[in-house]
Structure 1
């Protein structure tokens, strides 16, 4: 009997807002919500964006004017809508029309010969070139007379060709949520996203830790690009050319393993398993598969899983633009026959499109084995029984799609049929597509869906594409898809691909449907989501995600009468989660950052032949002394 990995908490941040309690999902379907849910979404986002703050009795704007919740929703609705989802890159990140660079300039000799310039003492090179004459000045600087012509780098300003981005809500600064000194933006997002997920569980983390052995907890996380902000690899690689000093932190903080490392060290204080895997744009499903594997096998009982990516830098924009992968301003104008790009509709999955839209974000889930979830009374938002990963084989180019996604997607569907039955897969499932918004993706991915659907006798298979709203967050992109799928389970709404007017003619639709408006599926009922992801290099992954309603049916068959006690414990869990939701909706995010707390005293670790104990942990680490290869000994 294998453990079932169940989702007991989820959180994060992207262009739609906060992920816990479905705030971000509700933003994507806000037009289809009840007035109560719509107002709740608008008020929560207004607080997150700093448009209003809660003073303990009412909401106040920056001038001090007081509002009730209904007034906040009506007064600030336009600002909230305009300041979320994909939009033109805001100057708070950087000005895409003023990208600093350098041009190589050759200096010519004048009549007196050479050129003259001054340098500060700190900028003087350790080895003085032989053609320089150096004269010290009274202010401590030096005048240099170069007798030879030479090349110089002259600062210039250029304009970024792609200006649309899936950026965090306007006014929301992750650095301001905790003492974030020296942290690159990606690590700020990792701490915020993991904290959001942990708080959303509703079971205190200390209680979870006390229920398991220390090494039965795992953190699985990464970023694809590492940290390219000035505080990370960006500053490390640019400092010499900028004549700046490399700091002692930039190299360490730039590593793409740092999201997992920071969560272990500063959020959980965990001595358990840690694993950082990247699979290009499918990275979230890569770390999710590792966690699912370990929970199913019994090696892990709790897993914090996710990715953080702060990819909105000029260098990454330029790299993807030069690949022809991004939707540029010029490309958007050509699509619409206009002189001004429609940045709000830059990402157009399965429509007439010209490239994807780069985005930033972080998404995390907390997984438990089903037995622990029942024991602790954890709220279950879904289950992930399987994640399949397959490569493409021989390829024409590293960025071209290939055969591997046929394998991963078909295996996922076959697995879902085996677990839930054909009827559920045929009538109560939907697809969350990679939907990158490139011409190649819309053809190849839609063909995969339709060919697999034909093989399994599926028709009218709904396809969602969350990148239409939040863009492509690279490492956490399939995390965005999972968060949206959990929202569909909760509200039984499939977000429409509202950035396109029609599905492109070359998209295969024989067995699938691509709703352009939000689709209400309450009567049909959605109990299964297939999360599909594709990445450069042949990184293909597909996850099977089961709805909480179906999971409860499965658990009832496994645990029987014990579910009565579980449901009584569940009430307290949900109350704690609701308490956090209320605080978070008021932008009281309770970011967990345990820097400076007392570290484990190595000398206090106690060993025996059976295991070891450590200060701060109620349970011991137990050595596994069985021999799996006893028949070979």
Structure 2
């Protein structure tokens, strides 16, 4: 194999859909304003106290101009059309035109934690009610993890490598990391990289609720009358994450390819750190999480004190937030008190494989605007009093580097350092 090209990798633009909005622009506007996008479940009916979720507002794939009535029926895994639309938005935001020159040099890597579970549910309903011949012949394509990227390619015209990095809730960061490595080594010039999950179906909601991962909203909880208060990372009364649907895609490029096409970069992928816990299928391993953060900083060839902000994994679970806080203290030492730590899941919830990509886009835009986004719904926890979690309101803050953390079931960790340009 030829030697790697060792090219600098930059971010040209992004697209996102979250509980705050069905575009990145609407998500960003509400994030800066300190809003949270949670409401009681409307996608389906399920008996559980974990009824507060993050639904993408005004999301109707059937209304997209390129989705026919037949397409909407055959492609009934929602992550397919959602990926197509967010990839389209991301390319438009970046200004990258897919043509005979750029198309073959553009990859698409979109990770997902749960893939087309909604399509499988529909197929099982048809099977039990209507019989075996009513299982859709499109079921298996709807379940394939790479199909959303494939369909995006059919819509948009790129023909570079497509696949779906599977890193559970760290999938979005894995996609960004792998896409950056492919560009660095010369396998492609551009990459659409991110994550997607459309997970609001009864079995998934109940699975998380029964393992006590999502918040149980009882009458005495402060989110009972105000669902927007359900996700509260690093707060003293945190007690589980808010399950959300969403998608996020970054457009990555080799610096010289961006320059050749007259495209302006917004950030650089400066460092990547990834590993696994070999510890427990849900509980994080403090030692390996710390190593992943340090590896990203080392890969960026900077010092921990050069990190100007942290985009925390911050799920709003008691154990997860405490462990991440311990790891941040270990990595940054006495400097941790001066580093703003934002937890975007307080506003958009936990969209599983999509979360890291949405958070990366928000973090990059915040860095460009000289801001740090808030951790909303915050009530101080004395045990975490040394951390500046940017409580409740955005803040002016100039910084050149930020660290974005992402961890997933199975003990998968991926941390990325972004540099502002």
What TM-score, normalized by structure 1, do the two folds share? 0.61
Equivalents in 1 of 2:117, 2:307: separation in Å? 42
Residues 1:194 and 2:71 are matched in the alignment: no
Indicate conservation of the 8 Å contact 1:493/1:518, yes or no.
Answer: no
Equivalents in 2 of 1:194, 1:446: separation in Å? 34
Say if 1:407 and 1:237 are closer, same or farther in 2 by CA, change over 3 A. Answer: farther
Bigger Cα Rg: 1
Say if 1:530 and 1:449 are closer, same or farther in 2 by CA, change over 3 A. Answer: same
Equivalents in 1 of 2:161, 2:61: separation in Å? 27
Equivalents in 1 of 2:102, 2:130: separation in Å? 53
Partner of 2:342: 464
Indicate conservation of the 8 Å contact 2:273/2:299, yes or no.
Answer: no
**Secondary structure of the structure 2 residue equivalent to 1:501:** coil
Partner of 1:263: 152
Indicate conservation of the 8 Å contact 1:226/1:257, yes or no.
Answer: no
Equivalents in 2 of 1:468, 1:459: separation in Å? 21
State the Cα deviation string for residues 454-513 of structure 1 (Å, max 9, x = none).
Answer: 18x5541110000001101011110121121022123222122121222x2333x54x31
Equivalents in 2 of 1:293, 1:166: separation in Å? 32
Residues 1:309 and 2:197 are matched in the alignment: yes
Partner of 1:400: 283
Q: Of the candidates 38, 41, 61, which is equivalent to residue 174 of structure 1?
A: 61
Partner of 1:185: 78
Partner of 1:369: 254
Partner of 1:602: none
Q: Of the candidates 218, 228, 251, which is equivalent to residue 344 of structure 1?
A: 228
Say if 1:219 and 1:172 are closer, same or farther in 2 by CA, change over 3 A. Answer: closer
Indicate conservation of the 8 Å contact 1:160/1:314, yes or no.
Answer: no
Q: Which structure 2 residues correspond to residues 60-459 of structure 1 after superposition, within 5 A?
A: 85-90=37-42, 93-94=43-44, 96=45, 99=46, 159-169=47-57, 171-178=58-65, 179=67, 180-182=71-73, 183=75, 184-206=77-99, 209-210=100-101, 214=104, 216-229=105-118, 232-244=119-131, 245-268=134-157, 270-330=158-218, 333-336=219-222, 340-351=224-235, 352-393=237-278, 395=279, 397-402=280-285, 403-416=287-300, 418=301, 421-422=302-303, 426=305, 429-454=308-333, 457-459=335-337
Residues 1:526 and 2:405 are matched in the alignment: no
**Secondary structure of the structure 2 residue equivalent to 1:17:** coil
- Give the Å deviation of 1:242: 2.9
- Give the Å deviation of 1:335: 4.5
Partner of 2:32: 29
Partner of 1:544: 417
Q: Of the candidates 11, 35, 57, which is equivalent to residue 15 of structure 2?
A: 11
Long gaps (5+) in structure 2: none
Indicate conservation of the 8 Å contact 1:388/1:543, yes or no.
Answer: yes
- Give the Å deviation of 1:306: 1.8
Aligned length: 407
State the Cα deviation string for residues 210-260 of structure 1 (Å, max 9, x = none).
Answer: 257x2x32111132211122xx22223333223352111122212222222
- Give the Å deviation of 1:189: 0.7
* Root-mean-square deviation (Å): 2.1
Stretches (4+) displaced over 6 A: none
Indicate conservation of the 8 Å contact 2:269/2:418, yes or no.
Answer: yes
**Secondary structure of the structure 2 residue equivalent to 1:329:** coil
Equivalents in 2 of 1:371, 1:175: separation in Å? 39
Indicate conservation of the 8 Å contact 1:25/1:483, yes or no.
Answer: no
Equivalents in 1 of 2:341, 2:139: separation in Å? 42
What TM-score, normalized by structure 2, do the two folds share? 0.91
Q: Which has the higher contact order (CA 8 A, sep 6+)?
A: 2
Long gaps (5+) in structure 1: 32-80, 100-158, 549-633
- Give the Å deviation of 1:412: 1.6
- Give the Å deviation of 1:533: 0.6
Say if 1:382 and 1:23 are closer, same or farther in 2 by CA, change over 3 A. Answer: farther
